[in-house]
Structure 1
């Protein structure tokens, strides 16, 4: 079946009557000959009609969020934009000491020291074990002597003073590996507690696009889309949800803030976006409605019937004669309109206005 591309929404009956040709009668099957032949003809086809909306988007990464300093200090090193960081690597350095990425769902909310207990201690011990500093370490929720010893071994490897304690500003816990999106503090900047140093995201590629407020139905999680990446490659995806607009982004302003920003996950994950230019635009095609296997004709083939019953019809051409049949109209797309009724058949030749 041929799939029709979308050029807009449904044509209202009043507009359809203006585009079609007015025809006298009630479409009861009246026939005409000779001079009644239309100036052009077309064929009733069975096809797929799809309504969609294509908008600009940009390639990005999911779960974008800032990394804020927990303590006062001077930024002496920051990971460069675009770098992917894993457990044990430094996100940045403050006062010439690394602030290390560790994995875990619990944020660093306190200094950890011998005698402490909690889920944050448990995730610290898991990281120490996985980084190779867990010899003799029993992984549990208690910060014991074995934890202290493992922390000291780890601190020596980082050229930190081996205190056996982990300060609030020493590590940043994140769910997994991260990608550096931007540096929010420049080299040698003084930062205070709570000030952003970096913006990071997950390594899962997404496309963000801004829809109008009236397009709320397209923002439902799971809505299927088709994404054309900067290279021209087209990949399928789906809406993951909406995200808060980013202040200071391109096109920001009062008008831009009125839209809805959706985040689209690409099928194929990181492979789908490999090698793509994240600074170049992408386009996202949202499918709002689809009708598969329906009978359709060009909009210009539909007659606006006059008379007591009104409605719409088609002028069926058979040799040198014609007859008018009533039809119900449905969805429109790409200049075609869905038609149905007991007298409509695939392959029929019908009249239409001259192009």
Structure 2
């Protein structure tokens, strides 16, 4: 067996194992024959860790009687994808909680599944509505004449969207804002104070769907009381990944979703967050990566129309290499001086060739090196 330099041409005569050639000469590059024991796909991009363990059997364990490996495989040119599939749940995405701030008695609650849009009552305290408005900033203070800030602009934009005009939405709560708020309060059956007290509105990022109730009509409520839970109105798929697979969850990244009927639709990752799970019974506390997938194209929305909640599968693609040369991972050998190689088999001879590795996926590895091309045969140790 000879070991070639990556830049030196393969010499069949020099590798001739016949008795006439006598004892074969070995070059300075030494090869430690290894067998793949553990493949750790901890890749970020193309970086992948491979742990190899020495072959504990005799030399003959991975060599045929003629000195060649017991099996071979061809170098293929293909597209390699690093993918993972995870169990998921089709529903309406992340649940959030509406927390009360107004003291009193809950006199009206929505039915689970009800959809609430801007300007509509979410629930009622002492027979007065708590209203949904749109915005990303939670209500955290009373808003009155003289108030300034982005929350003032958020309120004024909602008033204008509901038809209460007479001002330019900005960050100043002026007399014009007071007049618009009074008209709004009058239509809701509230006292016309011109001031929006804490807890009178709930800001959400859009229309919401009531997921469940945490209280009942007649219950007393007040600051900090969880009233109900809600989600968005669009169908979404939620999956959990191990922290080691975080590379798969890229905001805005495309995924494939397999529905209960076997249909496969496209989705887009809309939310990625870490979720801590407390210890339970024999299970230790752990952290998971929560991934929410939006179903944005028309085909996907049509396919899930008949489901409220159902199981699903999500296929994540972390990396793709197009038109690359690949071999089975088991063909890789660890070189004694570091790095990896493959045993190139040509006729009745073979030689070790150093290679550079790329993406590991689907039981194969991307490689490149001198003399490595499509159709070349490489040895597969036993």
Question: 1:323 and 2:349 equivalent?
Answer: yes
**What is the rounded CA distance, in whole Å, between the counterparts of 1:52 and 1:17 in structure 2?**
32
**What is the rounded CA distance, in whole Å, between the counterparts of 1:124 and 1:209 in structure 2?**
35
> Residues 342 and 165 (structure 1 numbering): CA distance in 2 closer, same or farther, change over 3 Å?
closer
Contact 2:62 2:69 in 1 (8 A): no
Q: Aligned-pair distance for 1:99?
A: 0.9
Say which is worse superposed, 302-311 or 72-81, in terms of deviation.
302-311
Tell me the TM-score normalised to structure 2 length: 0.66
**What is the rounded CA distance, in whole Å, between the counterparts of 1:223 and 1:16 in structure 2?**
41
Contact 2:97 2:227 in 1 (8 A): yes
**What is the rounded CA distance, in whole Å, between the counterparts of 2:224 and 2:336 in structure 1?**
74
Q: Aligned-pair distance for 1:195?
A: 1.0
Q: Aligned-pair distance for 1:15?
A: 7.3
Q: Aligned-pair distance for 1:208?
A: 3.1
Q: Aligned-pair distance for 1:206?
A: 4.4
The DSSP-based 3-state class of the residue aligned with 2:290 is strand
Residue of structure 2 in register with 1:14 after alignment: 53
Contact 1:219 1:239 in 2 (8 A): no
Question: 1:261 and 2:300 equivalent?
Answer: no
Alignment partner of 1:275 out of 305, 312, 317: 305
Residue of structure 1 in register with 2:127 after alignment: 96
Residue of structure 2 in register with 1:3 after alignment: none
**What is the rounded CA distance, in whole Å, between the counterparts of 1:16 and 1:296 in structure 2?**
23
The DSSP-based 3-state class of the residue aligned with 2:244 is helix
| Residues 67-102 of structure 1, C-alpha deviations (whole Å, 9 max, x = no match) | 111112222322333433221111112222211112
Q: Number of aligned residue pairs: give it.
A: 327
Tell me the TM-score normalised to structure 1 length: 0.71
> Residues 104 and 24 (structure 1 numbering): CA distance in 2 closer, same or farther, change over 3 Å?
closer
Say which is worse superposed, 265-274 or 101-110, in terms of deviation.
265-274
Contact 1:61 1:203 in 2 (8 A): yes
> Residues 133 and 286 (structure 1 numbering): CA distance in 2 closer, same or farther, change over 3 Å?
closer
Higher relative contact order (CA 8 A, sep 6+): 1
**What is the rounded CA distance, in whole Å, between the counterparts of 2:367 and 2:122 in structure 1?**
61
| Residues 280-334 of structure 1, C-alpha deviations (whole Å, 9 max, x = no match) | 222233334444323234456x4869999996414335xxxx3323244645543
Alignment partner of 2:140 out of 97, 100, 109: 109
Question: 1:181 and 2:221 equivalent?
Answer: no
Q: Aligned-pair distance for 1:45?
A: 1.8
> Residues 305 and 314 (structure 1 numbering): CA distance in 2 closer, same or farther, change over 3 Å?
farther
Residue of structure 1 in register with 2:362 after alignment: 334
> Residues 167 and 271 (structure 1 numbering): CA distance in 2 closer, same or farther, change over 3 Å?
farther
> Residues 159 and 52 (structure 1 numbering): CA distance in 2 closer, same or farther, change over 3 Å?
same
Residue of structure 1 in register with 2:224 after alignment: 194
The DSSP-based 3-state class of the residue aligned with 1:259 is strand
Residue of structure 2 in register with 1:142 after alignment: 173
Contact 1:51 1:289 in 2 (8 A): yes
> Residues 24 and 85 (structure 1 numbering): CA distance in 2 closer, same or farther, change over 3 Å?
same
- Matches of residues 117-266 of structure 1 in structure 2 within 5 Å? 117-119=147-149, 120-134=151-165, 136=166, 141-144=172-175, 146-203=176-233, 206-219=236-249, 221=251, 225-232=255-262, 233-238=264-269, 240-245=271-276, 255=283, 257-266=285-294
Alignment partner of 1:313 out of 334, 343, 347: 343
Residue of structure 1 in register with 2:84 after alignment: 53
Q: Aligned-pair distance for 1:258?
A: 0.8
RMSD: 4.3
Contact 2:265 2:299 in 1 (8 A): no
Contact 2:87 2:313 in 1 (8 A): yes
Q: Aligned-pair distance for 1:346?
A: 1.5
> Residues 41 and 313 (structure 1 numbering): CA distance in 2 closer, same or farther, change over 3 Å?
closer
Contact 1:219 1:242 in 2 (8 A): no
Contact 1:227 1:283 in 2 (8 A): yes
